[in-house]
Structure 1
Amino acid sequence: MRQTLLKGLWISGALLFFASGCGVLPARLVLGFTAGDPATAQVTSCMRDSNSKVTSKACSGTWRTDDGEQGSGHISGATPDDNGREVEIRTGPFGTYIEPITANWQLYPAIPALIWIPYALWRHRRSKRLRRSARSTDSGPQAQTPSTSA
């Protein structure tokens, strides 16, 4: 019963971790920066969106990849200083990025957890297997010792 509960907690924790976005966003960014196609973009407009506590910027533009594909839309990481300029970007499956891979350093503490969760699951299963084999060895047939009778 206890082991079933532990297994359920591990699975629930892993699903919660990924569902919360803690593991998805860093993996998404790394994929976009490493597997994305290089392109040249023209930033056409930037607007500042001031909320009560947060100021964000939304820039858009058009781009062309080295293969000749064209696109337009939001460009992550572009600033109002880039408005009207040509900039180098990466286009990936999750959008376009102007920033270098080091720009979102706040997200990278989640990466060790992406490694730790599978390792912890492996260790848990391994220790469970070792305990089971130790129990089966202990409960095996006992060696009979010869008795001496006079």
Structure 2
Amino acid sequence: MARRLAAALGLLLVIFAALLFWPVVMTYTFVAGEKATASVTNCETIRNNKSTDTTCTGTWRTEGGDTGSGEIYGLDEDQEGDTVPVRIGPMGPYAGGFGHSWVLFLTAVPALLAPVVVAFSLGPFFSRNRRLARSLLAEPGGGRLVIVTRDAVTHADGSPFATVRKAESPPAGYRRAEVPGRPFRGHQRSVFEAVAGINRDATEFTAVVGTAGRPLMFVEARTSKELETECVLLDAAGAALVVVRRLSAYPLHYSLLSPAGEAIGSARPAVGKLGGNLLIRDAGGLPVATAATSGRRWVVRVESRASSLLRDAALALALIQLRSD
């Protein structure tokens, strides 16, 4: 999720910059561009069924005495032979001021409205997850309550529980667990995902290391161009404990399986469908853990009735959300 959001944010910034290019350039031209006087020597208009395009050329002299010639923008066909004031900017000389070049400012409208639309669209999503996270912290219950970030796990009071780091290689006792039935993705890999490096064929290992410096567990993350993301919870020696299989990205749904393929639990959003929060249930459908995001952290509350496998799987699920594709 974090990688997808970062890539999406980068793409949005590129689009935002592209939409604001002409408005920024034209504002600079008309406000700070060098002043000059231009003589319009020729204007030609090309008309077709959909538009009319006028091109004017001429010569100009700046207030500093520099001269130039070429196309002059922002003129009408009937201005051939006129002498007009212009401003010279990065894209050349423009006449007529803001009023005559207003079309070039239209791209600023979606760029300026987009943050408002995004805020209204995603506001409920983030606020809902934050409220759930706050409620988990306010009512810790009798089980385990931890806060998970990309590089650490802490208790609710801030005391350290474990550190999280990328493992350059699998643990010594690792044997790849293969459970049949991994589903295909609901859609083909997009160009955006390919450019951003999302949903690629890759396997990564994350180590969760206790305060004593010894590994507590590992999380093996498997991504694929064609198959749904799958992660495996490994013990400190590298033996597979739980296969966390994503069945669909929307609505978000995970199946928790033993290495033998037996269902031991499931995870779906506690509220909504987009994720940002999860309710983990055991094989009988009994809720055993709840997790919710708040900013760059996940709050995870595990009920005292949860088995040790599901307790650790809840922690792994939070780590998966922080890095998953």
- What is the TM-score with the length of structure 2 in the denominator? 0.35
**AA of the residue aligned to 1:45:** N
Question: Which moves more between the two structures, 9-18 or 83-92?
Answer: 9-18
Matches within 5 A, 1:1-150: 2-18=1-17, 21-106=18-103, 107-108=105-106, 110=108, 113=111, 135=147, 136=154, 138=156, 140-141=158-159
Equivalent-residue separation in structure 1 for 2:22 and 2:65 (angstroms): 28
Distance 1:103 1:139, change over 3 A: farther
Separation in structure 2 between the aligned mates of residue 92 and residue 49 of structure 1, nearest angstrom: 25
- What's the CA shift for 1:137? 6.9
Q: Per the alignment, in what secondary structure is the counterpart of residue 49 of structure 2?
A: coil
Q: Distance in 2 between matches of 1:75 and 1:50?
A: 19
Q: Partner of 1:124 in structure 2?
A: none
3-state secondary structure, aligned to 2:6: helix
Shift of 1:6: 0.8
- For 1:45 and 1:137, locate their aligned partners in 2 and report how far apart those are by CA, in whole Å: 76
Question: Matched residues in 1 for 2:54 and 2:45: separation?
Answer: 4
Unaligned runs of 5+ in 1: 121-126, 143-150
8 Å Cα contact 1:26/1:111 also seen in 2 = no
Supply the RMSD in Å over aligned alpha carbons. Answer: 3.0
Of 57-66 and 21-30, deviating more is 21-30
Larger Rg: 2
**Per-residue CA shift, 1:30-89, capped at 9, x if unaligned?**
111112111111000000111331111000100000100000011111112211111111
Of 74-83 and 38-47, the range deviating more from structure 2:
74-83
Give the count of matched residue pairs.
127
SS in 2 for 1:102: helix
1:7-37: CA deviation from partner (whole Å, max 9, x where unpaired): 110101221343xx42211111111111211
Relative contact order, CA 8 A, sep 6+: which one is greater? Answer: 1
Structure with greater helix percent: 1
Q: For the residues of structure 2 that align with 1:8 and 1:46, how far apart are their CA atoms?
A: 46
User: Is the 1:23–1:111 Cα contact (8 Å) retained in structure 2?
Assistant: no
Q: Secondary structure at the match of 1:101?
A: helix
TM-score calculated relative to the size of structure 1: 0.71
CA distance in 2, matches of 1:105, 1:47: 21
